[in-house]
Amino acid sequence: MPVQVIRGNRSSLAALVIGLALVAIAATLPLWAPEESASAWMREFVEIACYFIFAMMWNLLAGYGGMVSVGQQAFFGFGGYVMLMLGNLANVNPFIAVPLGALAAALIAVPVSYVAFRLQGGYFAIGTWVIAEVFRLSFAQLSVVGGGSGTSLTALRGIEKSTREMATFWMALACMVAAVALVYLFLRSKRGLALLAIRDNEIAAESQGIAVGRMKLAVYVVAALGAGLAGALYFLGNLRISPDAAFSINWTAFAIFMVVIGGIGRIEGPIVGALIYWALNKFFGDYGTWYLLGLGLLAILVTIYFKQGLWGYAQERWGWSLFPTRRTLKS
């Protein structure tokens, strides 16, 4: 009996069309936005894009790779610092330095993984946190980038403000689309299937001939690349970096929040989570400590009562899937 492998559905096609339309609308923002608010909107978008890319990569690492790290800010900050150092010290155009910063984060992830992979489960999480602290303390001693108080991205001097803002905005949009596409295509590929197998049962996957160790390393490096990209992009928009801001645990805390609320282990999760985070931040961000307290409480409640997150709930209930990575067999 011939068996048909179904890999998409109508809603995924619709999602693709709507997604492309949204990207097109966003890309033309400088054309249609009211002049007085365009600059602020673009800045806000860049910031959210960085959070989103970072959360997307955390989702790949934890939700698909099964590696729950609370030290991804190491790569975020590293990407940012490399971008800034290339721009300030080596006279590289900062916009070109952004992907280079991401690459540097991916490269450093290889030796870092050698240490981090000695630990498993919860201890892996705290171990990666220690590694991120080592990054922070090391950069705080580097006087060439201002030590503990940080420094500014002076390489962008001489570029007009509106040009700079627009270029940063388009770059953020492109990086966001690229991050979604990268993760989506990766998960739909043969390697993605192997990754899902590892997540579900590592020993069974290994016995089927999947090189578990190499696969985990690949995911770790890709996640570091994405985190580095987010960091380089963030500090390109921010124009100022300091070790405490670059290697703050809050980056990972917000990523965990977005992914857990949206639904871990599905691409839609961080998208939904980032939107919710953006809305909450917009309306309640001014409450400071109370707002953070509420976020922490919400993460606890969702984890206990809504294990699959909001999108996971919707998917179970209505069968929605915008980015199908499953293969369904139909005879």
- How far apart CA 166 and CA 207 sit, in angstroms, is 51
Chosen residue from 86, 260, 274, 310 binding another protein by CB under 8 A: 260
Minimal distance in Å, beta carbon 285 to another protein? 14
Count of residues that interact with another protein, criterion CB under 8 A:
40
Site string for another protein, 25-64 (x = CB under 8 A): -------------------------------------x--
Q: Which residue is associated with the tokens 């369904």?
A: 328
Please report whether residue 249 would count as binding another protein according to CB under 8 A: yes
- How far apart CA 95 and CA 5 sit, in angstroms, is 42
CA atoms within 13 A on the CB side of 103: 6
Comparison of 184 and 291: residue with beta carbon closer to another protein: 291
Chosen residue from 17, 114, 181, 283 binding another protein by CB under 8 A: 114
330 three-class SS = strand
Please report whether residue 108 would count as binding another protein according to CB under 8 A: no
Please report whether residue 195 would count as binding another protein according to CB under 8 A: no
Please report whether residue 246 would count as binding another protein according to CB under 8 A: no
Please report whether residue 110 would count as binding another protein according to CB under 8 A: no
Comparison of 41 and 291: residue with beta carbon closer to another protein: 291
Minimal distance in Å, beta carbon 197 to another protein? 16
Site string for another protein, 129-168 (x = CB under 8 A): xxx-xx--xx-xx---------------------------
Which residue stretches of the chain are H helix? Answer: 10-27, 29-32, 35-58, 73-90, 94-116, 121-140, 161-188, 190-200, 202-207, 212-238, 243-246, 249-262, 268-284, 289-305, 309-318
Which one-letter DSSP state was computed for residue 151? E
Chosen residue from 50, 55, 70, 223 binding another protein by CB under 8 A: 70
Minimal distance in Å, beta carbon 313 to another protein? 16
Long-range contacts of range 136-144, CB-CB < 8 Å, 24 or more positions apart?
136/77, 136/243, 136/244, 136/246, 136/247, 137/243, 139/77, 139/81, 139/243, 139/246, 139/247, 140/243, 140/244, 144/85, 144/89
Amino acid letter at 258?
Answer: M
- Do residues 251 and 228 lie in contact, with contact meaning Cβ atoms separated by under 8 Å? no
Chosen residue from 225, 264, 271, 310 binding another protein by CB under 8 A: 264
Minimal distance in Å, beta carbon 41 to another protein? 29
Comparison of 54 and 169: residue with beta carbon closer to another protein: 54
Residue 211 dihedral angles phi and psi, to the nearest 5°:
-80, 90
- How far apart CA 208 and CA 197 sit, in angstroms, is 9
Q: Which residue is associated with the tokens 């498993």?
A: 120
Site string for another protein, 282-321 (x = CB under 8 A): -------xx-xx-xxxxxx--xx--x--------------
| Contacting positions for another protein (CB under 8 A) | 62, 68, 70, 114-115, 118-119, 121-123, 125-127, 129-131, 133-134, 137-138, 140-141, 249, 253, 256, 260, 264, 289-290, 292-293, 295-300, 303-304, 307
